[in-house]
Amino acid sequence: MTPSAYDQWLALFEASAKRDAAFTTMSGVELDPVYGPENGEFPGLFPYTRGVHPAMYRSRLWTMRQFAGFGTAEDTNQRFRYLLGQGQTGLSVAFDLPTLMGYDSDHALSEGEVGKCGVAIDSLEDMEILFSGIDLEKTTVSMTINSPASVLWAMYLVVAEKQGADWKKISGTLQNDILKEYIAQKEYIYPPAPSMRLVIDTFEFGAKFTPKFNSISISGYHIREAGSTALQELAFTIYDGVEYVEWALRRGLDVDDFGPRLSFFFNSHNDFFEEIAKFRASRKIWYRLMKDRFHAKSDRTRLMRFHTQTAGVSLTAQQPMNNIARVAIQALAAVLGGTQSLHTDSYDEALALPTEEAARIALRTQQIIAYESGVANTVDPLGGSYFVEKFTLDMEQGAFDYFDRLDAMGGMVKAIELGFPQKEIAEASYQFQRAAESKEKIVVGVNEFAVEEKAPVTLYIDESVAQRQTEKLQALRKRRDNQELARRLEALKHAAAQEPVVHSDGRISDANTMPYIIDCVRAYATVGEICQALKEVYGTYEEVSIT
């Protein structure tokens, strides 16, 4: 007799390591690990609507991964150690704007921005300081870096190597999502085609040498922060994933070799049930795409795993303590939606970098949800809700409607060149602003319930950071072997300049740039020097006017 879906799920659940033998309510009522009909859908089984693992948080809580970075590597290392000491279970690195744009701290275009919105990282020396005293074989690390992603990842790998860590054991996530930069965040350097080549280089390199490290975090977060709707965030993000898979397949990679290391990153916004439906739909959509469109054979490839961050754009400078409530609701939606890791924003982020107190409250918000609310004691507790199930189906259908339009345009790169996702997001943002200004949509403390208030204490980064980074760079350039470095940079340019080879079966192969970038990093090349070498081959990108 064929086992029922329930029997299949139960076997998987019993094989999972459970945090406790039983979970009960405050009144002593014992909770089942999952609720639903025996012929229904179950977590850990396709199409994964109810969660990617059979036991979900009954087995292991989500990773509490607070985003942090400011000032120098020394400053941020201190904040990392503080957060880990307060119970955080993973690290997430915020880089400053010059690093994100591929400039060194002493570059003219870096003036006024060094260390302001993240940590300033110029060379391997800074990366060594950033992770001083942190065992990279035991700590998962996420890095929010995109256009220079391969450079910063190379620095991370060399630091791990110098610590004696095994590359095959280190785990974490590289954001590395250049498509969303053209769509929303605009921190690009090179044109789309060479940028995509660099991304696929990391897929290929990671599949061979870092099998536990996610080579990309396909990010809807910034699409939502730019003003998109929840549906647009869902559709554009997942279709970005489709585009990356298409390019990797053209390289000749096997989807089941790189697919298990593709991860996603979503925003959790204010509409509680819409966000939960979005998260549930995302897993079902990705499963359908990987199974039917790309014919993935591995269950690991078909799983969508994602990180969530609460909505920074929803935070208000007015009455900032209200943001604690906003963040708690958004975080709860992410947990009920089945996220694998979570960042909760600090209440003062609309004003400045988070203070230590604000960062601690943000982490405590996650811990209260995890240990006091009871929502982690059963899997997908809102599954079966008529409202949530219908909302989930609507999200799924709406996303596939967008996919049809994007397919007709020839894919996401073509759609970006046509300005399609940019126009869609701009219109959604405009409509939201109109609704807020007319009070059709209430923003508490801003367009309703406003009060007079004092400015809170904030964390301020002054220009001494830039001075310290400049002095460090000058000393580094004097003591390293600049002749050897020049040779390695030339080798990188030569590899980057090699024309792709088109094979008879349609595969396109390039010289992988990652080993050359790693060689430059080992010689203490700076972020700016490596990016400049690639600019000399690829040029830079300027967005065309979209009407």
**In-domain check, residue 460:** no
274 and 330 housed in the same domain: yes
172 and 114 housed in the same domain: yes
Strand partners, 267: 309
**In-domain check, residue 387:** yes
pLDDT at 146: 98
**In-domain check, residue 43:** no
424 and 481 housed in the same domain: no
Cα(154)–Cα(169) distance, integer angstroms:
16
pLDDT at 261: 96
Q: Domain ends where: 437, 458, 493?
A: 437
Burial class of residue 385, CB neighbours in 10 A (0-12, 13-18, 19+): middle
pLDDT at 503: 63
**Residue 137 maps to which CATH number?**
3.20.20.240
Q: Domain ends where: 390, 416, 437?
A: 437
Residue 508 has pLDDT above 80, yes or no: no
**In-domain check, residue 33:** no
408 and 473 housed in the same domain: no
Query: Which of 4-8, 81-85, 200-204, 477-481 shows the lowest per-residue confidence on average (mean pLDDT)?
Result: 4-8
Residue 547 has pLDDT above 80, yes or no: no
Question: What would the DSSP string read from start to end of 158-220?
Answer: HHHHHHT--TTT--EEE----HHIIIII----S-HHHHHHHHHHHHHHHHHH-TTEESEEEE-
Domain count, the chain: 2
Residue 538 has pLDDT above 70, yes or no: yes
**In-domain check, residue 515:** yes
Strand partners, 266: 308
504 and 357 housed in the same domain: no
pLDDT in tens, 119-129: 999 999 999 99
pLDDT at 1: 40
475 and 376 housed in the same domain: no
State the amino acid at position 483 in one-letter form. Q
Residue of 393, 270, 398 whose CA lies nearest to 334: 270
How many separate helices (H) and strands (E) can be counted in the chain? 21, 13
Mean pLDDT of 330-339: 98
Domain of residue 507: give its range.
468-538
Cα(450)–Cα(93) distance, integer angstroms:
35
State the amino acid at position 338 in one-letter form. G
What angle separates helix 230-251 from helix 192-209, to the nearest 10 degrees? 70
Give the helix/strand (H/E) hosting 307.
strand 306-310
Considering the chain, what is the average pLDDT of its residues? 95
pLDDT in tens, 19-78: 766 888 888 899 999 999 888 999 999 999 999 999 999 999 999 999 999 999 999 999
pLDDT at 4: 85
pLDDT in tens, 457-471: 777 888 999 999 999
Residue 2 has pLDDT above 80, yes or no: no
pLDDT in tens, 139-191: 999 999 999 999 999 999 999 999 999 999 999 999 999 999 999 999 999 99
Tokens of 366: 């996650």
**In-domain check, residue 194:** yes
384 and 520 housed in the same domain: no
pLDDT in tens, 401-450: 999 999 999 999 999 999 999 999 999 999 999 999 999 999 999 999 99
How far apart are the two ends of the chain, measured CA to CA in Å? 61
Residue 354 has pLDDT above 50, yes or no: yes
The DSSP code for 290 is I
Residue whose tokens read 């199974």: 291
Residue 497 has pLDDT above 70, yes or no: yes
Tokens of 441: 């949509």
CB atoms within 10 A of CB 535: 16
259 and 308 housed in the same domain: yes
pLDDT in tens, 273-326: 999 999 999 999 999 999 999 999 999 999 999 999 999 999 999 999 999 999
Q: Are 511 and 498 in contact (CB under 8 A)?
A: yes
CB atoms within 10 A of CB 479: 8
Tokens of 330: 């958004």
Cα(102)–Cα(531) distance, integer angstroms:
6
Tokens of 397: 């259908």
472 and 433 housed in the same domain: no
361 and 218 housed in the same domain: yes
299 and 427 housed in the same domain: yes
357 and 501 housed in the same domain: no
Q: Are 181 and 187 in contact (CB under 8 A)?
A: yes
Q: Are 330 and 54 in contact (CB under 8 A)?
A: no
pLDDT at 84: 95
Residue of 139, 125, 121 whose CA lies nearest to 212: 139
pLDDT at 127: 98
**In-domain check, residue 18:** no
pLDDT in tens, 443-459: 999 999 999 888 777 77
Sheet of 306-310, strand order = 213-214, 172-174, 141-144, 90-94, 63-68, 341-343, 306-310, 262-268, 216-219
Largest distance between two CA atoms of the chain: 74
**In-domain check, residue 263:** yes
Alpha carbon of residue 55 to chain centroid: 24
